[in-house]
Amino acid sequence: MLRKITINWNKLADFRVLENPFPNPERIFSGLDDINPETFLDFLDDIGLVGMGGSGFRTSEKIKASIGAHTLVINGVECEPGITADQSVLLNDSLWVAAGANACAKAVGATKVILATKDGGISLDDLNKRYGEFSMERFAAKYPAGAEKLILKQLTGKTPPPGLRPYQWGYLIQNVVSLRAIGRAIIDGIPVMERPLTLTMPSIGFYKNAVIPVGLTIREVLEVYKISFDPSTHLIADSGLMMGHEVSLDDVIEKTTLSLFILKRDSAWHDERPCTRCGTCNTACPLGLHPYSLVERIKKDKVSSAAFKAQMTECFLCGVCSAVCPSDIPIVQTLKEGKKCL
Ligand code: SF4
Ligand code: SF4
């Protein structure tokens, strides 16, 4: 997480537009007509699909574990502040998203597909025109509403116990961009070679959603858009402010790159002050964890107890605890370190 950010998100990249400033890749596969679990799992590995919502895990393994699920959820509850790329994909690439969703549902045997989106985003009218075959469910436009556990909680009305995976309750939850990639491969025979993302530089009023080739350097992306970047005054934040990290011009676009924000350095960094035991981080954690006591344990290397490990397993590094901390303590960075003991 990039600490406290004072960005005015009153302006966002327009999700009605999804630019593609690069040449269309050539067809590589013949596509896929027959969706059955075996061929589909191999197909997902062949196209190189990993969780494009940010997890980066092999999608074939998730689908394999989810065989027998009754419901597929299309996760369009994009909630990282400042990112609108998922909504742009939902609106502009519905053919691919729907094809990917139907293929996943068929592969696991799901009989119901739910499109999960957030309040205040794309209108239900626009969604119904494109995804009328699916059920609709709205979620609060509040970070981290798009986390799988919170989606599961709203859909079932029950709090998932620690360690539960959605498939254990019969759900497969797939991010919109992963489904787009599946649809693109099935229909066009193109593997995962491109990444829709939000690109913004608020200081010059630049806000866009665009499809960028995977593997391109950030320098090359900025050259295409004629954005000049001075590392002494600005930083590049990859994949949001809550779960993302700082990158350099020589880093490349990954399959999991959700966004690139070019921000003034003085808006992104605040000095850490001592913990006042105010408890705000505990109250804010969406999973009811106790972030600062976890941090204390990690710092004192008291990481062997089952209770500690259970809380660390649950934590999905959403960064809410860091964001609310009035002392600007980078809690989530320490939690990230703590995950290494699992
Ligand atoms: S990062 Fe912080 S707020 Fe988010 S789940 Fe972990 S402990 Fe809770
Ligand atoms: S919010 Fe910050 S200051 Fe308050 S208890 Fe948590 S870590 Fe300490």
Q: What CATH number does the domain located at 37-188 have?
A: 3.40.50.11540
pLDDT at 7: 63
pLDDT exceeds 90 at position 207? yes
Q: Read off the pTM.
A: 0.89
DSSP line for 93-149:
-HHHHHHHHHHHHHHHT-SEEEEEEETTSS-HHHHHHHHTTSEEEEE-S-TTTTSHH
Q: Which is more confidently placed, 294 or 241?
A: 294
pLDDT tens for 17-48 read 999 999 888 888 877 778 888 899 999 999 99
Please tell me the distance between residue 63's alpha carbon and the centre of ligand 1 in angstroms: 26
Asked if residue 185 has pLDDT above 60, the reply is yes
Residues 6+ apart with CB under 8 A from 255: 48, 49, 50, 52, 56, 192, 195, 214
**pLDDT > 90 in the chain, percent:** 70
pLDDT of amino acid 4: 56
The answer, yes or no, to whether any atom of ligand 2 lies below 6 A from the CB of 322, is no
Per-residue pLDDT tens over the stretch 147-178: 999 999 999 999 998 889 999 999 999 999 99
Has residue 271 got a pLDDT over 80? no
Q: What is the second-level CATH architecture of the domain 194-268?
A: Roll (3.10)
Residue 162 CA to ligand 1 center (angstroms) comes to 13
- Find the distance separating the first CA and the last CA of the chain, reported in whole Å: 21
Tokens read off for 259: 């966004």
Is there a common fold for 37-188 and 194-268?
no
Query: Is the model's pLDDT at 90 over the cut of 90?
Result: yes
Q: Which residue has the CA at smallest separation from atom 8 of ligand 1?
A: 285
Query: 315 alpha carbon to ligand 1 midpoint, in Å?
Result: 5
Please give the structure tokens belonging to residue 215: 């593997």
Q: Residue 321: in which H helix or E strand, if any?
A: helix 320-324
Q: Is the CB of 284 under 6 A from ligand 2?
A: no
Q: From the alpha carbon of 291, which atom of ligand 2 is closest?
A: 6
Check residues 269 and 292 and name the one with the higher pLDDT.
292
| Token pair listed for 318 | 């959403």
pLDDT band at 268 (very low <50, low <70, confident <90, very high): low
Q: What is the pLDDT of residue 56?
A: 85
Q: Residue with the nearest Cα to atom 6 of ligand 1?
A: 315
Please state the rounded mean pLDDT for residues 105-112.
97
Mutate which of 315, 322, 325, 337 for ligand 1? The one with the most ligand atoms within 8 Å of its CB, which is 315
The domain segmentation of the chain, as residue ranges, is 37-188, 194-268, 280-341
Antiparallel, parallel or unpaired: β 194-201 and 259-264: parallel
